[in-house]
Amino acid sequence: MEFNLSKYIRPSLISLAPYQSARQEFEGDGRKMILLDANENPFESVVNRYPDPLQQQLKKEIALWKGVEEDQLYLSNGSDEFISQVIMGSCAPGKDQIMIFPPTFGMYKVAANLHGVGVQEVPLTVNFQLDIAAILGAINETTKVIFIPTPNNPTANNFDLNTIEQLLQNFSGLVVVDEAYVEFSSNPSVVSWLDKYPNLLVCQTFSKAQGMAGARLGMAFAHPEMIAFFNRIKAPYNINSLTINAALTRLKEQDKVGAQVAVLLSERKRLEDALATLPIVLHCYPSDANFVLIRVDDSLLRYQQLISEGIVVRNPSKNLNCENTLRISVGRPEENDRLIEALKKISYSV
Ligand SMILES: Cc1ncc(COP(=O)(O)O)c(C=O)c1O
């Protein structure tokens, strides 16, 4: 597959010389070395040494798990860091733009704003689907990166894979498919498309189904040259040792994760069924994620009433076409019981 890195990245970064740690320069020959190169405290604790800047052990395991080559994999401090790096690495401030499809995940715009990069917004259709004609019509020479979260946040639905493929074929910049909720989705991952589309980047996260939001670990999959570029522009030690170890352990617990996902999927169905019977719920949007979006009669009032009942949900009503909606994460069964109870109480009290 032909790949031309300079097509995708800021010209000023093409020849950037990255920070080098001395340990990276040294080629290990299997001996146990005395490490006096990094001004660490030499007395052993779990974290007295800097972590491996390239997380080689963890990448080996993740590559096996995901069926990719190690050089197609980049690890970030949560997907949030990756999103920021894609924008920083490919868009010139004050000149280039990203494209997003509201209502969408809020970090794309925040990261673009932080980097002085413009944002083109092409709304989803009223059914929260990608509007391919409008998207292709809006792309211009300033458009460098397109972000597609599927399943989408806050709307919870999947996007049609044929439409995403059409975009990959008709846009010469980078397409980031953000699969943060892929474990809950009925659509397969598009990681299998990597060999077909040099402009495809896929990101997934340990924050959702993998149950490690506090550890901050994101995975990105792309062409090896793109990955090598991310390794050059990243902070040297972006993934800490505690996170690396926690992820190595979690990879051995995929049966447990799978069982938790199964519970959350059946709880999602139970929640959807219960919500549909409530008079204050006007619509429950179909979900392919671990949360549901509902339209209610008065989102601010219902949000505050839930707070009074000791339950925090998200009120995304300020997002385009999300007036009077609430976004509710699927909790543990007993938490969902409490939520349903509270919503019934709110619904039927005058
Ligand atoms: C679509 C989407 N992408 C990325 C993220 C952030 O993931 P991380 O915790 O890995 O930064 C979220 C979090 O809500 C999300 O909804």
Domain ranges of the chain: 18-252, 255-348
Element (H, E) at 292: strand 291-296
The CATH T-level fold of domain 18-252 is Aspartate Aminotransferase; domain 2 (3.40.640)
Give the atom of ligand 1 at the shortest distance from the alpha carbon of 81: 11
Residue owning tokens 């709880």: 267
Nearest CA-CA partner of 149 in 92, 201, 112, 111:
201
Pick from 101, 108, 153 the residue to mutate for probing ligand 1's pocket: most ligand atoms within 8 Å of its CB: 153
The amino acid that residue 93 corresponds to is: P
Give the atom of ligand 1 at the shortest distance from the alpha carbon of 208: 9
Cα of 350 from ligand 1 centre, angstroms: 38
Q: Is the C-beta atom of 64 inside 6 A of ligand 1?
A: no
Residue owning tokens 């069964």: 333
Q: Is the C-beta atom of 178 inside 6 A of ligand 1?
A: yes
The CATH T-level fold of domain 255-348 is Aspartate Aminotransferase, domain 1 (3.90.1150)
Q: CA-CA distance, 229 to 33, in Å (whole number)? A: 30
Cα of 115 from ligand 1 centre, angstroms: 19
Pick from 86, 183, 207 the residue to mutate for probing ligand 1's pocket: most ligand atoms within 8 Å of its CB: 207
Q: Is the C-beta atom of 179 inside 6 A of ligand 1?
A: no
C-beta separation of 317 from 299 below 8 A: yes
Pick from 75, 76, 80 the residue to mutate for probing ligand 1's pocket: most ligand atoms within 8 Å of its CB: 80
Q: What are the φ and ψ backbone dihedral angles of 116, each rounded to 5 degrees?
A: 70, 30
Q: Whose CA is nearest to atom 7 of ligand 1?
A: 79
Nearest CA-CA partner of 75 in 217, 229, 251, 237:
217
Task: List the chain pLDDT tens, one digit each, 350 residues.
Answer: 678 999 999 999 998 888 877 777 777 778 888 999 999 999 999 999 999 999 999 999 999 999 999 999 999 999 999 999 999 999 999 999 999 999 999 999 999 999 999 999 999 999 999 999 999 999 999 999 999 999 999 999 999 999 999 999 999 999 999 999 999 999 999 999 999 999 999 999 999 999 999 999 999 999 999 999 999 999 999 999 999 999 999 999 999 999 999 999 999 999 999 999 999 999 999 999 999 999 999 999 999 999 999 999 999 999 999 999 999 999 999 999 999 999 999 998 76
Q: Is the C-beta atom of 84 inside 6 A of ligand 1?
A: no
Q: Is the C-beta atom of 85 inside 6 A of ligand 1?
A: no
Q: Is the C-beta atom of 319 inside 6 A of ligand 1?
A: no
